[in-house]
Amino acid sequence: MIDIKLIRTNPDLVRENIRKKFQDEKLPLVDEVIALDEEIRVLKAESDELRSMRNKASNLIGQLMREKKVEEANKMKQEVADNNQKIALNDEKEAKLAERIKTIMMTIPNIIDPTVPIGKDDSENVEIKRFLEPRVPKYEVPYHLDIIEKLGGIDLDSARKVAGNGFYYLMGDIARLHSAVLTYARDFMINKGFTYCIPPYMIRSNVVTGVMSFAEMDAMMYKIEGEDLYLIGTSEHSMIGKFIDSFLNKEDLPYTLTSYSPCFRKEKGAHGIEERGIYRIHQFEKQEMIVVCEPTDSKEWFEKMYNYTVELFTSMDIPVRTLECCSGDLADLKVKSIDVEAWSPRQKKYFEVGSCSNLGDAQARRLGIRIKGENGNYFAHTLNNTVVAPPRMLIAILENHMNEDGSINIPKVLQPYMGMKTKIEVKNQK
């Protein structure tokens, strides 16, 4: 959510930003905010004048009563009562207008960084850099589900009976590899100086609307029936929510946290949930990193954070590339975002495995996360980044470390988390 002062002082900048995000349908909202804001200011001025008159009248009433001018005092009392009624009506109107402004302001997109490439959708995202040489084996690399099934590592049929499409049972060494990746990612981030945290897996609606746009909320979140609670789609939600309505001390910044959680997503509007495979699913686990920092430090932290993900993947001998998201692919709260994509030997192309975002003060403004300053309080900046989400990470490991016989070499950094096992052997030859 942007500062309303920006719309007051530079509405053209806000309009241009909306155009850069190809959301021209939101352009009228700028004029609506300006009109509503002016109406509120008129009401405030009128109410202030009425209060001033009321205060003067109240003082005068006492004087009139002392002078036994009862009739004049009663007339003055009626004027005070009339003013109080007008003030109450103005306050009611002001509250309604303020609520409408808040709704609009949460719809108008955040101002993107000047370095963000302009483009309509993810097809216009821009590659930044590649890391490690992509592997193209001479033998065929099967679809990831076929690889896992031959390793005896998944049961989709049972999961479909229990919960429907988009769920799975991971079994045996594949389940163990899944946990190994998460544990390694946890230790990796702790070694970078981040504090490990396990957050709540449900959050209230005011936190949901504080961390994401309405469109994201509708497409992602599962609501708990009869409760003001939602299942988290990523631990970033509850981790940023941890700081709601806080006044942070400058000397305590930055807060650097890494969190584990299961994640739940409706995937509404996606290209359907595959019956085969674990690329797009309703439930998965994830290691996340978040930073709450000084506004002047957020660009530096952004660079650090996505490079941590690159380092994590390359430490497992998985080729990756970084991709800058264009304006049309950025969620409305984001200032800048970079995706990390892993190489797929089967598809001979890269696929997304993580995303790093700088949200500026958008989440802090919505949630009331302020820093105590010498010359007044101001909003913090928040950032988040995927450390690892094992379902997609599993695909990257399986494809990049598969041998011709279907067995999987376990990356050296994961072997201590697998009982020093070096390979996962084929169990099902069908």
| Sheet order of strands, 222-223 included | 202-203, 230-231, 222-223
pLDDT at 412 over 90: yes
Rounded to whole angstroms, the Cα distance separating 106 from 33 reads 11
pLDDT at 215 over 80: no
pLDDT digits (tens, 9 = 90+) for 227-240: 999 999 999 999 99
Q: What is the pLDDT of residue 137?
A: 94
- Name the residue among 253, 235, 340, 331 with its Cα closest to residue 292: 253
Q: Do 228 and 205 meet the contact criterion of CB atoms below 8 Å apart?
A: yes
pLDDT at 39 over 80: yes
Task: Calculate mean pLDDT across residues 306-316.
Answer: 98
Q: What is the pLDDT of residue 55?
A: 79
pLDDT at 394 over 70: yes
Task: Calculate mean pLDDT across residues 117-135.
Answer: 96
Q: What is the pLDDT of residue 428?
A: 61
Q: Point out which residues pair with 170 in neighbouring strands.
A: 154
Measured at the alpha carbon of residue 356, what is the angle toward residues 353 and 362, in degrees to the nearest 5? 140
User: Which uninterrupted H or E stretch holds 367?
Assistant: helix 362-367
- Name the residue among 16, 53, 9, 55 with its Cα closest to residue 33: 9
Rounded to whole angstroms, the Cα distance separating 381 from 360 reads 5
pLDDT at 275 over 50: no
Rounded to whole angstroms, the Cα distance separating 117 from 128 reads 11
Which structure tokens are listed for 416?
């201590």
Rounded to whole angstroms, the Cα distance separating 102 from 96 reads 10
- Name the residue among 291, 390, 343, 329 with its Cα closest to residue 122: 329
Q: Do 23 and 331 meet the contact criterion of CB atoms below 8 Å apart?
A: no
Residues in the chain: 430
**DSSP track, 157-204:** HHHHHHT-TT--EE-HHHHHHHHHHHHHHHHHHHHTTPEEE---SEE-
211 HSE (CA, 13 A, CB side): 27
Whether the bond between 137 and the residue before it is cis, its omega within 30 degrees of 0, is no
Q: What is the pLDDT of residue 63?
A: 74
Q: Do 154 and 174 meet the contact criterion of CB atoms below 8 Å apart?
A: yes
Q: Could you state, in order of their start, the residue ranges of all structural domains in the chain?
A: 4-105, 122-424
pLDDT at 273 over 60: no
pLDDT over 70, % of the chain:
97
Rounded to whole angstroms, the Cα distance separating 402 from 261 reads 28
- Name the residue among 198, 206, 211 with its Cα closest to residue 237: 211
- Name the residue among 213, 294, 228 with its Cα closest to residue 255: 294
DSSP state at residue 397: H
If pLDDT is split at 50, 70 and 90, which confidence band does 279 have?
confident
Cβ partners under 8 Å of residue 85, min gap 6:
none
A 10 A CB-CB count for 393 gives: 26
If pLDDT is split at 50, 70 and 90, which confidence band does 51 have?
confident
Report CA 102 to chain centroid distance, whole Å. 19
If pLDDT is split at 50, 70 and 90, which confidence band does 274 have?
very low
Q: Do 395 and 344 meet the contact criterion of CB atoms below 8 Å apart?
A: yes
Phi/psi at 71 (nearest 5 deg)? Answer: -60, -45
| 270 against 314, higher pLDDT | 314
Q: In CATH, what is the architecture of 4-105? A: Orthogonal Bundle (1.10)
**DSSP track, 221-238:** PEEPTTSS-EE-SSHHHH
Task: Calculate mean pLDDT across residues 296-308.
Answer: 98
pLDDT digits (tens, 9 = 90+) for 145-199: 999 999 999 998 999 899 988 889 999 999 999 999 999 999 999 999 999 999 9
pLDDT digits (tens, 9 = 90+) for 371-393: 998 889 999 999 999 999 988 99
pLDDT digits (tens, 9 = 90+) for 316-366: 999 999 999 999 999 999 999 999 999 999 999 999 999 999 999 999 999
Please list the alpha-helical segments (H only) found in 67-109. 70-105
Q: Which CATH number fits domain 122-424: 2.60.40.10, 3.30.930.10, 3.40.50.11720, 3.20.20.70?
A: 3.30.930.10
